[in-house]
Amino acid sequence: MSKINFKRLVPVGASAAVGAGLLLYAAYSTLKLPLMGWSGIGALFVLLALTLGSSRFTVPVTTVDGTGQIHKSVADSLIFLAVMMYALPPVGNFGPAIVLAAAVTFLAHFRVAEHSSTIFGIGLAVISTFMASLVFRVMLIGGALSNEQGLVLDRLLFPLCVFGVVQYALSTFGTVALEAFSAGKRMTISQESLVWTLITHVASVTSAAMFYAAIHDSRVPFLFVGVLIVALVHLLYRFNEKRVTEATRAHSEKLHYTEEIADLHMNTIESLAIAIDAKDQTTHGHVRRTQIYATEMGKLLKVGEQELRALVAGALLHDIGKLAVPEYILNKPGKLTESEFAKMKIHPTVGGDILKRVNFPYPVEDIVRYHHEKWDGSGYPKGLRGKGIPLVARIISVVDFYDATRCDRPYRKGMKREDSLALLQKMSGSSFDPMVVDLFKKHVAKFDELIDAQDIKEQVQPVTSDPANKARPDAGLASDVLGSPDDSLGFRSITEAQREVFALHEIAQTIGSSLNMSDTVTLIANKLQAIVPFDTCIIYVVDDRSGKAVSVHAVGDHVELFNRRRISIGDGITGWVIANGRSMCNSSPELDLVGIPDDLVKNYRGVLVSPLIREDGAFGAITLYSKGRTSYTSEHVRLLESVAQHAASALNNAITFERTKESALTDPLTELPNSRGFYMMLEQRLAECQRLGRESLALISMDIDDFKKINDQYGHAIGDRLLANIGRVIRKELRQMDILSRYAGDEFVAIMPMASQSMAEAIADRIRNAVEQLKFSVRTGKSVDVAVSVGIACFPADGETSEELLTTAARNMQKDKHARKNLISLATMPTPSRIDQYT
């Protein structure tokens, strides 16, 4: 639902209300006129018919830039004619002129403007015509004309011109004021529109006088002159419309050409930045982060459009002069010597000289040449001081220093945000502009949120670097370019080859550092993002129980739809890759996105899938979807397969570890926690109860009655199946938070947090009844009845340790078993014996 603009609603409503009142007054006054005659209702109908006939001759009067459009009609002259016919004595009626003004305005705006503009325009036309008619009447008082006096143009023409000026001023300035007020802008009027609309009114006044002369004194030549004036004005309108159309097209072509030049400049910038990146592989995301910091700071400082463009380009090129610095200095892991630092100091001057030849239309050269100048004048190359340093260079120096100190460099470790800001504040007033530093510190958290989604996680948070080493921040390494250049630009060879080597090395070093499944898949996705482009990445692993590939990790767009997604082996692109153990790319992503909403599927254009392979075949896949690229190259396939090879080993180790861990704590028959898992979970729950003020906890011990007889009679396979079934029955009767374990043999134990004695007894009765209702089939046509004995122990009443609680629950379970056996024995004894026993 669109938001209501109350600033516009109020004046439109006021205009509509006043206009409606005046229009009702005009209609009432018009109905009082005689039916026939030159000043009657019949003549008014003739004017309305002429208005309808000329309504299609409506022309937009527009400035060259396409703004301030006003729609004018050749029927405007009929309003002035109605004033002369009806407002002059002896009729003296404003009604016909007001009605005609409303009709002309409605027809001029019909299907051209929005409803609010149409309503406001009609109301304003009615009001302006009424006010102008009053002025017209006042000017004729004392020298009023009668029909007997004849036509005196010198006495009528001036008041009629005043009428036109007043009506024009009220309607035009009222419309402009509405647009300015509703938009919250300053009221401005285009001189071009003012001239053309004034021509309209002058022509309308003149033609109306000619028409009135033709009607009043039967002078046909005047009628011809009036029609000729109207026709000429209309042709002028058409000429202006064509001129504006051609000027607008020329303006659009000029803008398009300017945009192409701007793109060419940006391509040049990226090319130069790639050349820098080829010499420095230390920080790959530094440029992008610096660009975001700098542009956001520029917006906060309200720099001009040219300076903002300079910040965007300067973030890419501020270290272009490092092309002239030897690589052994750029990549030296230790502190630079004085002579080495002297060579490093030439890079701002070299960079400025390079860009001076490019002749950028915005001050990029100032950024490159002066971003190492310092606030106290101790910087280089010119030793500029304070505000003598260009503002854009001061912004770049602050954000460049902040991001450089946040990342690992050969000569020091990266800092935490707080430590970097503290160092920045310490150098404020000496190296950096205090005003820029304070503003940056105030908004840095918001800036870091902006880069989180695009950052490749280079801003590390290790131990703070030691300020005592006095490593010069000016000796920072060259910056990287934004993202990876597209293959079609022809820039892959140097920069991407080195980036891939470093990324694959990082993957090999870190991807096996954890046996945790979640940590492993997260590391894989994060490292992969640096070398293969994608919008969504999903890592699938085959679930042995279901036989389907399950999404164990998703990153990028729409992860909520891809998390835990399940694919049958052989189905879609991912299923085919897992089934065949071969990579696939450049197929339609729709084949792999069955079940995903169509409006999201159509956004994806490319897909690349590589299998995760171990000795027994593929056990998963890495699937990449792209919205921007329709196809992946053979290089992308090679890189993903390299990552998948490392990832497969790490994931297989993580899966094996988790299975081993799970089997150590899980009973394989019932898939319930075993005794080891039971003790671990019980200790945790008891510790929680102690922390929460000795909160209650219940333990239910359950044992199957006469289970040995079933094993002996029907075999252990039947007994195992019975245990698994009873475990499922008991689990259904427990609460979601309760924990059921197979403690030993045919004994089950349930842990019930926050359960009282009465609640535990009620659940125990439910379990006993559910098990007794189970008819377990041991062979075709043969089933057995099963029962369980139950014992309960509660914390803290029956004990405060796991041994005490378990012992009490087992003792109570044995009591229940003996009591139930005695009842069964009594139930099966003959009646006399049973009576004798109790007498």
User: How confident is the model over 758-793, as pLDDT tens digits?
Assistant: 999 999 999 999 998 888 887 777 888 888 999 999
Binned at pLDDT 50, 70 and 90, residue 609 comes out as very high
Tokens of 344: 């490093």
Say if CB 320 and CB 364 are below 8 A apart: no
Mean pLDDT, rounded, for 523-545: 83
Contact 578, 542 (CB under 8 A): yes
Q: What is the mean pLDDT of the chain?
A: 76
What per-residue confidence (pLDDT) applies to 483? 34
* Residue-wise pLDDT tens digits, 390-400: 999 999 999 98
pLDDT in tens, 345-364: 888 888 888 878 777 777 88
Structure tokens, 794: 């509660």
Helix, strand or coil for residue 612?
Answer: strand
What is the model's pLDDT at position 18? 83
- Residue 494 has a pLDDT of 47
d(CA 659, CA 636): 33
Identify the burial level of 599 via C-beta atoms within 10 angstroms of its C-beta, where 0-12 means exposed, 13-18 middle and 19 or more buried.
exposed
CA 194, CA 418: separation in Å to the nearest integer? 60
Mean pLDDT score, 85-113: 71
Sheet containing 747-753, strands listed edge to edge, beginning at the edge strand earlier in sequence:
739-744, 747-753, 697-704, 788-795
- Is 66 a residue whose pLDDT tops 90? no
Percent of the chain residues topping a pLDDT of 90: 15
Q: Name the β-bridge partners of 740.
A: 750
- Given this model, what pLDDT does residue 811 score? 93
Average pLDDT over residues 378-396: 91
Q: How far apart are CA 272 and CA 316, in angstroms?
A: 8
**What is the per-residue pLDDT for 593?**
87
Contacts of 509 by beta carbon, 8 Å cutoff, 6+ apart: none
Question: What separation in angstroms does the CA of 671 have from each of 483, 662, 665, 667?
Answer: 48, 10, 10, 5
480 vs 250, higher pLDDT: 250
Give the residue among 322, 309, 305 at the shortest CA–CA distance from 265: 309
Q: Is the pTM of this model over 0.85?
A: no
Statement: residue 798 has pLDDT above 80: yes
Determine contact, residues 82/132, Cβ cutoff 8 Å: no
| Three-state SS letters, 152-208 | CHHHHHHHHHHHHHHHHHHHHHHHHHHHHHHHCCCCCCCHHHHHHHHHHHHHHHHHH
Provide the 8-state DSSP code for 489.
G
**What is the pLDDT at residue 502?**
59
Percent of the chain residues topping a pLDDT of 70? 71
pLDDT at 151 over 80: no
537 phi, psi to nearest 5 deg: -125, 130
Listed residue (192, 63, 182, 175) closest to 119, CA to CA: 175
Q: What is the mean pLDDT of residues 431-445?
A: 91
Res. 488: pLDDT tops 80: no
Report the distance separating Cα 331 and Cα 328, nearest Å. 5
- Map residue 704 onto helix, strand or coil: strand
- pLDDT value for 194: 66
Mean pLDDT of 286-299: 85
Cα torsion angle, 27, 33, 36, 38, sign: negative
Mean pLDDT of 34-56: 72
CA atoms within 13 A on the CB side of 771: 26
What amino acid occupies position 689? C
Confidence of residue 834 (pLDDT cuts 50, 70, 90): very low
Instruction: Report helix angle 95-109 to 41-54, nearest 10.
Output: 20
H or E element at residue 216: helix 191-217
What is the structure's pLDDT at 623? 92
The whole-number pLDDT of residue 335 equals: 66
Residue whose C-alpha is closest to residue 318's, from 344, 287, 288: 287
DSSP label at residue 673: B
> What DSSP designation does 554 have?
E
Q: What are φ and ψ of residue 610, in 5° steps?
A: -125, 140
